[in-house]
Chains A and B, each alone.
Chain A
Amino acid sequence: MTLAARGLGFGFHGRAIGSGVELSLSPGEVVCLLGANGSGKTTLLRTLLGLLPPISGSVTLDQRPLHDWTARERASGLAYVPQAAESYFDFSLLEMVEMGRAAHRGVFAQPMARDREQSRAALDRLGISALADRPIHRVSGGERQLALIARALATEATHILMDEPAANLDFGNQALILEEIARLRDAGSAVLFSTHHPDHALRIADRVVMIRGGGVMAAGATDEVVNSENLSALYGRAIEVALIPCGAGNPRRVCIPSSGRHP
């Protein structure tokens, strides 16, 4: 099953922010969305999720246009992980994750024993099952983000789309989230995530899509696309990509802003 955008124009109220987006996402791969503030990453993500209608072109899941899917069908194909924002009510982590099961049950249903088991299993996969009964206001930002990822797992969707999953997290929790995303890919999920850190792309993404000026500036395999030239153009600052030795493993590529504007 592949999520694909063809000639996609996205925006609000019929006004396009971006156009001509080509993108595909299949199980077992991680695609990273890079772009400066205001480049429309979130709007593109919402269009790919079917929350906004495409302005032009199409988004298809399994070769069927998204708007042909009912809300419940779509929910079992595409899962959304929002930025860990303030939640209004103090659900426990388990209750929050169980809501991922709603699309699998009738309108008048309550979560069943099986839903509870699956939700616990999802929390377990992300290593936070000990916090299952903790109110969501009383866990750290990283744990809250993990719970939202667990909820995406509980939906059993093949594709998981994350909006800046590492934003507002400290350094350790950012690394934790990235490791979990890589693990989801290894378990067969398709993951698309947006981020402000090109280092996150270098760390786990198979492919990168760079959004700039209302279109795709560059797209392709991470090692080919994430280079000094593209990053400098993307962010308007001189940025270098350096190879540095890292522990006993292979040397890793990292991004370093150097001083000065990009010409």
Chain B
Amino acid sequence: MTQIQQPATTGPGTERPAPSVRQPTFQWAAGPAIPLLSVVIALIFGAAFVLLSGNDPIKAYAALVQGAFGTPYDITETIVAAIPLVLTGIAVAIAFRTGLFNIGAQGQLLVGALAAGWAGSQWPTLPGPILMPIVIVFGIAGGAFYGGIVGLLKAVRGVNEVITTIMLNYTIVFVMHWLLQAGPMTAQNAFGTPASTPIGAGARLPIIIPNEIVLFSRLHAGVLLAALAVVVFWFLLWRTPLGYRLRAVGLGARAAAQAGIDPARHMILVMAIAGGFAGLGGMIEVSGVFGRVYDGFSSSYGFDAIAVALLGKNSPLGIVFAALLFGAFVHGGAYMQSHAAISSNLVAIIQACVLFVIAAEALVRGLTRRRGHKPVEAIA
């Protein structure tokens, strides 16, 4: 087989001073105009779709809004659904800011959940003030480990992070099957659903809304951890030298290298940090919502996270709003299905449209701005 010899930008055996990074495609000008527009377009498309399939779009959207915000309870549930999206959204966004595409937030979240679930059930009798920090550290460390693998392979072997993250997402699903169905973490009495042993009381995040205010609310202290994570994300990227270097690598790895910043090292670092955020998200789900790790829980947070990060323009506040919007979709969608008889999967269609419009926007902008610019990365 003859191949035209041109240096591959990724792949093994390619000696390069610095691995290439994704160009900052998604760092468009300030302002919420484009994200809002993409949501509006997506909602219109969704409405047209409902209409075409013989249903009433106004009824559908009314039910969606009613379901997401109709009662105080629903509002707290929407927030509960948004929490993991905030953390995985940050995991995607911080990598984007460094020029990497982290499709692996899903897997990182699961590893964090497994690590936290293991630690929480390993020492169930420890008091909260001791056990809780342990569980948090395990969650973050688990995710950071899984993200770090991606960064390491990228930095050392030039492996495209898109490939590794997709593969690792699926790998952990099967490892999880093993751990929870017939492995060391399998609970003896899980009532048919494969799950881990319940975590100790000290590892449970408390409900922060008392029953007198919102009856049966599930809003847990994880919301505070998520808020803290948003602040840390902002502070880290925009108020520390490390954040400056990460963003410099994202804006141009070669220029950063010229300025004495080692892109490879920062890629390993940022993927570990990204994984840490996602892992914390997994820990919060285990400690705040389920109390144990269920096999196959959280099947789509990681993919929603990409939409959240892109819609939120990889910025702290943007991510919060986007996560709340998607949280509303998730919680409201269930109500829509049961009360308006319209499949909650309408929500997925709307989300896909949001993503597609955003992708199209980035490139319409690219047509005008980046002409003559040569992208440097090959994606396999």
Q: Do A and B come from one complex?
A: no
